[in-house]
Chain A
Amino acid sequence: MAKARVLLVEDEPDIAQTTKVILEMNGYEVIIATNGVDGLSKVGSEKPDIAILDISLPEMNGFDICRKIKCNKNYRKLPVIMFSSKFQPNDITFAKALGADEYITKSAEPEALISKIEELLKKTP
């Protein structure tokens, strides 16, 4: 079976790089985008199986990317995990309202992120 492709949109280089390696250790292929616009264009060009979006990003924030994915009939089935280090009280509600499938804080154990990815990929045909 081909490796699942994960699009990670993250502007903090240290987080992006280390998360990429951890995901690769767990058998995923990882594509990185470092800003919102790049992230959205890679949804189209790289055809990922799942997207992990940081919230505060330059050019276009994670919520906007999520909204654009979920409003587009070609991409709305792409599972989206919001990945935030800033835990704003209303973030989860907002993310769910925009159609995000999961919300996870960056400080959660890497295993938690992996298990959420696995769960979502199992659900999508």
Chain B
Amino acid sequence: MERGSVSAKDFGEIDVDDAGKMSEVLGAGDMSDGARSALTTLCRKGLSREMKTVFDEIDKKVKTVVEAKDLQYNQINEKYSKTLIEKKQTESVIKSIAEGLVVLNDRDEVIMMNPAAEKILDISMADQIGKPVRSLVKDEHLMSLATGKGSPEDTEVELNAGSENAKKVLRSSSAVIQNESGRTVGMVSVFTDVTKQREVEDLKSQFISNVSHELRTPLVAVRNSIVIILNEKTGSLTEDQKKYLLIAERNIKQLSRFVDDLLDVSKMEAKKMELHPAPASTEVIINEVCETLEAWAQTKNISIVRNVQSNIPDIKMEKERIVQVLINLIGNAIKFTPTGGIITVEAKLKTEEKGNLLLVRIIDTGPGITKENISKLFNKFRQVGGKNPNDKSGGTGLGLYISKELIELHGGTIYVESTPGEGAMFAFTLPIT
């Protein structure tokens, strides 16, 4: 049936009784057959018109709805294809990145994995989607990488690659995926093969170690020779000769210390720094260091005040290393304190929840350090000078970094407090076991 061309005929004849009822409604009472027939025809025509209007109305509405739906459908379709393109783009990006990427749901099942991850984890992704990662990855270390359960931060894992005899070093970082209400719904892990990078780092450490060795031997020979001449083993010296030999000696010592610092840093970077602790007296060490630095302090008319608590027991430490830290800290204080200043070296016991600690503090009357600089202070190669840009404080920027590493290797902490203009306080603690 064609819409819009409905006529009353299609509904069949109207019952005569209905016509009678109609005439009753119209208040016509008994009608003649002619009148009845005429009325019936009239009703039919009226009804037919009425119906047509209704159907037209319906028709219009249907048309509007259909058109709206068509539009909506087109829009959805458009959005869908757009999303599809975007999805493909994202996928090809994920596929092409060198880093391995694994996405797990909250049941540790693999939702997504890129080819780099397949290669790094040495598994094939075909029909692995949806399987628990535990069934795919056998190596426990790899597991901790893939599930990010090792630690929230960057983790590094060393693997022995099965086929090749080479070691493989992977670095991973993971993040939890949360839904809108903050519930954890999965985990995304990214890992990088850093084997090459590690090789280069090792090579660098080895190189520094070799260079230091090559530098040290001639330095020692020069220094020894200067010591011999200065001791007038080769004949008496004039005052001028002594003066210049002392300059040479001082500079050779400085150079030797720098070579030692470089070597220390290369060991620290390679995590190969070893300690050989033995019980030692804090007081003896502090006295030794202060006496060594006394001459230098005097050139700037700086007095070093010692304040060491008397009942400090011998503490397990590597004496030479703690001496090194104290020389760095007190040496810095001398360097930055203006002429006539005072440096206080304090040592005392401190009781904390974890046990007893030795607390050593070096307080100077120098220019102090800004908050911004304090945060950079213990970084490698970072030199934080005074306010004056021409301030030639010298040094390599390694001393505080090395001191921090050494104190931490001893299980202690190192920190600094300062208000610009009011001097600085460097402090470190050592555990008493």
Is B224 a contact of A19 with CB atoms below 8 Å? Answer: yes
A106 in contact with B216 given A86-B209, A89-B267 (CB within 8 Å) = yes
Within B254-271, the residues touching A (CB, 8 Å) are: 256, 259-260, 263, 267, 270
A110 in contact with B227 given A89-B267, A89-B274 (CB within 8 Å) = yes
In the complex, how many angstroms separate the beta carbon of A119 from the nearest chain B beta carbon? 13
What total of A-B pairs shows CB separation below 8 Å?
Answer: 62
Interface string of A80-100 (1 = CB under 8 A from B): 000001111110110010000
Q: Which residues of B contact A25 (CB under 8 A)?
A: 228, 231, 233
Interface string of A18-32 (1 = CB under 8 A from B): 110110010000000
Is A41 in the interface zone, CB < 8 Å from B?
A: no
A86 in contact with B213 given A18-B225, A110-B224 (CB within 8 Å) = yes
Within B189-222, the residues touching A (CB, 8 Å) are: 209, 212-213, 216-221
A22 in contact with B228 given A12-B217, A106-B217 (CB within 8 Å) = yes
Is B276 in the interface zone, CB < 8 Å from A?
A: yes
Is B274 a contact of A90 with CB atoms below 8 Å? Answer: yes
A18 CA to B224 CA in the complex, in Å? 6
Is B227 a contact of A22 with CB atoms below 8 Å? Answer: yes
In the complex, how many angstroms separate the beta carbon of B267 from the nearest chain A beta carbon? 6
Majority secondary structure of chain B interface residues (helix, strand, loop or mixed): helix
Is B392 in the interface zone, CB < 8 Å from A?
A: no
Using C-beta atoms within 8 Å of the partner chain, give the interface range for chain B.
20 to 34
Is A85 a contact of B216 with CB atoms below 8 Å? Answer: yes
Within B239-285, the residues touching A (CB, 8 Å) are: 253, 256, 259-260, 263, 267, 270, 272-274, 276
A107 in contact with B228 given A87-B263, A92-B274 (CB within 8 Å) = no
Chain B residue with minimal CB distance to A93?
B274
Other-chain contact of A22, B212, B213, B224, B270 (Cβ < 8 Å) = B224
Chain B residue with minimal CB distance to A86?
B213
A109 CA to B252 CA in the complex, in Å? 11
Chain B residue with minimal CB distance to A90?
B274
In the complex, how many angstroms separate the beta carbon of A114 from the nearest chain B beta carbon? 11
Residues of B within 8 A of A (CB): 209, 212-213, 216-221, 223-225, 227-228, 231, 233, 253, 256, 259-260, 263, 267, 270, 272-274, 276
Known A18-B224, A85-B220, A88-B209; further 15 A-B contacts with Cβ < 8 A:
A14-B218, A15-B217, A15-B221, A18-B220, A18-B225, A85-B217, A93-B276, A105-B260, A106-B216, A107-B220, A107-B259, A107-B260, A109-B253, A110-B223, A110-B227
Listed A/B pairs (6) with beta-carbon separation below 8 Å: A21-B224, A22-B227, A89-B273, A92-B274, A107-B219, A107-B256
